[in-house]
Chains A and B, each alone.
Chain A
Amino acid sequence: MSRRRHSDDSDAGQPHKRRRTSEPSEIEERLESLICRVGEKSNSSLESNLEGLAGVLEADLPNYKSKILRILCTVARLLPEKLTVYTTLVGLLNARNYNFGGEFVEAMIRQLKECLKVNMYNEAVHLVRFLSDLVNCHVIAAPSMVAMFENFVSVTQEEDVPQVRCDWYMFAFLSSLPWVGKELYEKKDAEMDRLLSQTESYLKRRQKIHVPMLQVWTADKPHPQEEYLDCLWSQIQKLKKDRWQERHILRPYLAFDSVLCEALQHNLPPFTPPPHTEDSVYPMPRVIFRMFDYTDDPEGPVMPGSHSVERFVIEENLHCIIKSHWKERKTCAAQLLSYPGNNKIPLNYHIVEVIFAELFQLPSPPHIEVMYTTLLIELCKLQPGSLPQVLAQATEMLYMRLDTMNTTCVDRFINWFSHHLSNFQFRWSWEDWSDCLTQDLEKPKPKFVREVLEKCMRLSYHQRIIDIVPASFSVLSPANPVCIYKYGDESNRSLPGYTVALCLTIAIKNKASNDEIFSILKDVPNPNQDDDDGEGFTFNPLKIEVFVQTLLHLAAKSFSHSFSALAKFHEVFKTLAESDEGKLHVLRVVYDVWKNHPQMIAVLVDKMIRTQIVDCAAVANWIFSSELAHDFTRFYIWEILHSTIRKMNKHVLKIHKELEETKARLARQHKRRDSDDDDDDDDRSTDREDGPLEEQIERLQEKVESAQSEQKNLFLVIFQRFIMLLTEHLVRCETGGIDVFTPWYKSCIERLQQIFLQHHQIIQQYMVTLENLLFTAELDHHILAVFQQFCALQA
């Protein structure tokens, strides 16, 4: 219960700027609000709201023209889901004020160039689309738009440029056609035909090696996972065949035709696409995700076909709505559900499909995964009579197609479904999935159910899961997450180290210090003693075993207890795990103790990396070790590996940032000195001043290089181990004459793909090393194909 005080207390002691009645910013806010919210919550029609707003803005032009220009440009760039509303508004303004129309077009072109310069390609597409719809509003002359598109398409003739560059210009052209195709074709059919034929030949010759890596399912049935440009091209071809008739897009400007066609049009200035530079980073190719068609909702309105332009427009707009409102889940859900289309489209199906499209997108979803879970819950709240059923239907369909679903996407499905269930008392018709009980446990369906139940348990507790599934599912239920202490039973007293374990237990319970622990451990014999060549070899697996088993057992009660234990005996850990073998053995023992509780293993590994008891490479080697082979395909293993890689990446970024900040401090110091212009300064005093900072920079530089080297090494270790493992399997299959494509193999090769995809920006730095050292031509083509697909992503 919060005890509230009067809100004026919050001003007490605050060095607040007193809020000036600064009119300019208030007016700007008012203008922005008027423009952004046009048509919302109004009893009048959108058209009359637009007319009213046009009048208000026209009156404000003499004083606030630049603000209005800026707001309209921003709205064009950031609210693409309301594209036609704002092109209509600009059309009305242009009709009333020709010069303003011209200045707006110029401002848009400037903004487009700026976006392209800073690699904001997704927003640039919205600008291009906006410009093209301005043709429909008689603001821009159709021939000049066609000329711009001619320049776009001619990018495909450029030599020695990445395919993704040509792809973007092609996409910008094609994706504008649903809005403006009709008008452009009516005015310039010969030119358009030429452009379309150039498009066709480009699409035929472009390479699509990258596509398998981005597909959610490897099978083409029931819905092929098409490459995004191929799909769009099919849609445009169909649109052309339909004589460019497009009926889905809301076009408020149609109501103003008589006004707008009186307006004078502007010509777009000739637009030369900025050249490709080393810093250009183009959007990654995509695969269009489809899971529904009109047969899935037989009673509702017909879902537009996969190659209809309506489907494209609906999906684009729904994605844009999510992009605009991802931070505000209730607003996002409400905006999605109020997408215009009324009863003409099965909106719930489109929404669910678009959300899963984002959730399963490869390499990564556009937003954090948990957002989608919560968004779906909000949607269920707003449409309790219909959306849950669509979601259940979707879940069932995803389950049915697990056999060909990409492993990374299965991970996300597991996370989503278990988290979703935990919000609905884990209610699910598990019996419907009894077919998986008769399958081999490594097959995708039973594996999925096992992983889901394990995640459900993590969000609740073991007995709960036993209670919610039918008895027949017990074979898939997770293990009770208890610790396994090898020295626990009297019957184990013959084990080497048993007595020391007892000693340790008593000592630790009596709050022994690190030194006391060391002295107890001194007496533990080293089973490797015979191999010791007298170099003071410190690795003693038995010491590690006894200490780690005992400590973890004593601290088993909770994560906090275990973390305290790691912290308290950090010194002992560091000493025992000093060598690489030591680190590996610590990890092995942690696994032995906690193999029933994967979540505990994950948090312990995380803590040990952060406190530098083990390093990232040790974790990678441990994951690929033979001891972990039978857990190799379990989800938790990959969560640990990717979490490890992320920690490494963040570490490098952090030190790099420190280095940049220190360099900036030195630069500021120089600047201050230069501006002081004191004649008494001599070289010695400047050196004295710069000394400490320069030393720091040198140290940080070394740290950065060492961290980057460690990072590269981590990836090389991981790739190397993958190659070894996969090669072994391939050779074994070939000599034995068995099919390569086992569930294990599919999982493993997709895990390798996942490494590339999830960390692609960092791995791009290592391309030369990877090509020359690891992914050479001698490699089995199955493995090499993964590398080639990866190279093709930004080629």
Chain B
Amino acid sequence: RGRAGPGSAAMSAGGTLSILRSDSYAELSQYRDQHFRGTRYDQERLLRKSCTLYVGNLSFYTTEEQIHELFGKSGDIKKVIMGLDKVKKTACGFCFVEYYARGDAENAMRYINGTRLDDRIIRTDWDAGFKEGRQYGRGRSGGQVRDEYRQDYDAGRGGYGKNVQCQ
């Protein structure tokens, strides 16, 4: 997965241009984890050097193997941690992918984010790092918060949203 071009030498031979530095896919999003222990600044510092991605909008049936295959296209994966329903302990549609190298995670943000896995457009975002407990959904019913409130029917995510189901 090589790429030509000396990095620091570019500086001595003249530097670069800001329009060519644009890397919007690899930037931090607006999302900040409300449960993060530490300041906003701490979280952002970790996000900027993180090798871990949060992956969302997965089907409940998407396996670790599929995720490994897809995300392996941007580099060697250190670990995949499946997101689980806190009550049922079954997959609830998100996961964490940790790479050995940040560059590989950046490429995932650039080229895998916004493409399909199991026919669903998946979304990736920087994560400050896995900590025990973060593999569980934070919705009241045990799954993800978004599945509590959504109104649509999604066969890959348990059908209707939880509060629709409870009506």
A positions within 8 Å CB-CB of B: 1-5, 7, 9-10, 12-14, 29, 32-33, 36-37, 70-71, 73-75, 77-79, 111, 114-115, 118-120, 122-123, 324-325, 327-329, 331, 364, 366-371, 373-374, 377, 415, 419, 422-423, 425, 455, 458-461, 558-560, 599-600, 603, 606, 643, 646-647
* A73 close to B14 (CB less than 8 A): yes
Cα distance A197–B39 in the bound complex, in angstroms: 70
CB neighbours of B19 from chain A (8 A): 32-33, 36-37
Cross-chain pairs A/B with CB under 8 angstroms, 18 sampled = A1-B145, A2-B30, A3-B34, A114-B13, A115-B13, A118-B6, A120-B13, A325-B20, A328-B22, A364-B1, A368-B111, A370-B74, A460-B66, A558-B63, A559-B80, A560-B81, A600-B65, A646-B76
Q: Which of A3, A331, A600 has the most CB of B within 10 A?
A: A3
The contact of A327 among B14, B15, B26, B118, by CB within 8 Å, is: B26
The contact of A75 among B17, B40, B81, B119, by CB within 8 Å, is: B17
**Would you call B4 an interface residue if the criterion is a C-beta within 8 Å of the partner chain's C-beta atoms?**
yes
* B2 close to A458 (CB less than 8 A): no
The contact of B74 among A368, A425, A459, A560, by CB within 8 Å, is: A368
Cα distance A461–B65 in the bound complex, in angstroms: 9
CB neighbours of A7 from chain B (8 A): 30
CB neighbours of A2 from chain B (8 A): 29-31
A2-B29, A111-B14, A327-B26 are known contacts. Are A368 and B3 too (CB-CB below 8 A)? yes
Chain B nearest CB from A331 CB (Å) reads 7
Q: Which of B4, B81, B82, B118 has the most CB of A within 10 A?
A: B4
CB neighbours of B41 from chain A (8 A): 10, 12-14
Chain A nearest CB from B39 CB (Å) reads 5
CB neighbours of B118 from chain A (8 A): 460
A120-B9, A327-B23, A331-B22 are known contacts. Are A367 and B3 too (CB-CB below 8 A)? yes
Cα distance A373–B115 in the bound complex, in angstroms: 10
CB neighbours of A79 from chain B (8 A): 17, 20
Cα distance A112–B69 in the bound complex, in angstroms: 44
Chain B nearest CB from A324 CB (Å) reads 6
CB neighbours of B25 from chain A (8 A): 327-329
CB neighbours of A1 from chain B (8 A): 145-146, 149
CB neighbours of B4 from chain A (8 A): 122, 366
Chain A nearest CB from B62 CB (Å) reads 9
A329-B110, A368-B74 are known contacts. Are A458 and B13 too (CB-CB below 8 A)? no
The contact of A29 among B18, B22, B26, B117, by CB within 8 Å, is: B18
CB neighbours of A33 from chain B (8 A): 18-19
B positions within 8 Å CB-CB of A: 1-6, 9-10, 12-20, 22-26, 29-32, 34, 39-41, 44, 63-66, 68-70, 73-74, 76, 80-82, 107, 110-112, 115-119, 145-146, 149
* B63 close to A118 (CB less than 8 A): no
CB neighbours of B115 from chain A (8 A): 374, 377, 423
The contact of B76 among A12, A600, A606, by CB within 8 Å, is: A606
Q: Nearest B residue to A3 by beta-carbon distance? A: B34
Q: Nearest A residue to B38 by beta-carbon distance? A: A13
CB neighbours of B73 from chain A (8 A): 369-370, 415, 419
* A118 close to B12 (CB less than 8 A): yes
Q: Nearest B residue to A363 by beta-carbon distance? A: B2
The contact of B39 among A12, A32, A115, A458, by CB within 8 Å, is: A12
Q: Which of A2, A114, A369, A599 has the most CB of B within 10 A?
A: A2
CB neighbours of A459 from chain B (8 A): 66, 69-70, 117
* A324 close to B13 (CB less than 8 A): no
Q: Nearest B residue to A112 by beta-carbon distance? A: B13
Cα distance A560–B84 in the bound complex, in angstroms: 14
Chain A nearest CB from B101 CB (Å) reads 9
CB neighbours of B145 from chain A (8 A): 1
Q: Nearest A residue to B104 by beta-carbon distance? A: A368
The contact of A10 among B16, B40, B65, B66, by CB within 8 Å, is: B40
Cα distance A77–B10 in the bound complex, in angstroms: 11
Cα distance A599–B80 in the bound complex, in angstroms: 15
Q: Nearest A residue to B34 by beta-carbon distance? A: A3
CB neighbours of A425 from chain B (8 A): 119
* A70 close to B15 (CB less than 8 A): yes
* A78 close to B16 (CB less than 8 A): yes
CB neighbours of B76 from chain A (8 A): 606, 643, 646-647
* B111 close to A373 (CB less than 8 A): yes
CB neighbours of A10 from chain B (8 A): 40-41, 44
Chain B nearest CB from A676 CB (Å) reads 30
CB neighbours of A29 from chain B (8 A): 18
A1-B145, A329-B25 are known contacts. Are A560 and B64 too (CB-CB below 8 A)? yes
Chain B nearest CB from A547 CB (Å) reads 24
Cα distance A350–B9 in the bound complex, in angstroms: 33
Cα distance A396–B129 in the bound complex, in angstroms: 44
Q: Nearest B residue to A111 by beta-carbon distance? A: B14
A377-B115, A560-B82 are known contacts. Are A78 and B66 too (CB-CB below 8 A)? no
CB neighbours of A73 from chain B (8 A): 14
* A558 close to B110 (CB less than 8 A): no
* B112 close to A458 (CB less than 8 A): no
* B12 close to A74 (CB less than 8 A): no
Chain A nearest CB from B149 CB (Å) reads 7
CB neighbours of A71 from chain B (8 A): 17
Cα distance A4–B23 in the bound complex, in angstroms: 23
Cα distance A603–B18 in the bound complex, in angstroms: 40
* A599 close to B111 (CB less than 8 A): no
Chain B nearest CB from A213 CB (Å) reads 17
Chain A nearest CB from B89 CB (Å) reads 13
CB neighbours of B18 from chain A (8 A): 29, 32-33, 36
Cα distance A10–B13 in the bound complex, in angstroms: 36
Cα distance A119–B70 in the bound complex, in angstroms: 35
CB neighbours of B63 from chain A (8 A): 461, 558
CB neighbours of B110 from chain A (8 A): 327, 329, 371, 374
Chain B nearest CB from A695 CB (Å) reads 28
CB neighbours of B68 from chain A (8 A): 559, 599, 603
Cα distance A350–B15 in the bound complex, in angstroms: 31
Cα distance A590–B20 in the bound complex, in angstroms: 47
The contact of A118 among B13, B30, B32, B74, by CB within 8 Å, is: B13
Cα distance A114–B6 in the bound complex, in angstroms: 13
* A13 close to B39 (CB less than 8 A): yes
CB neighbours of A325 from chain B (8 A): 20
CB neighbours of B116 from chain A (8 A): 422-423
Q: Nearest A residue to B108 by beta-carbon distance? A: A370
* B111 close to A374 (CB less than 8 A): yes
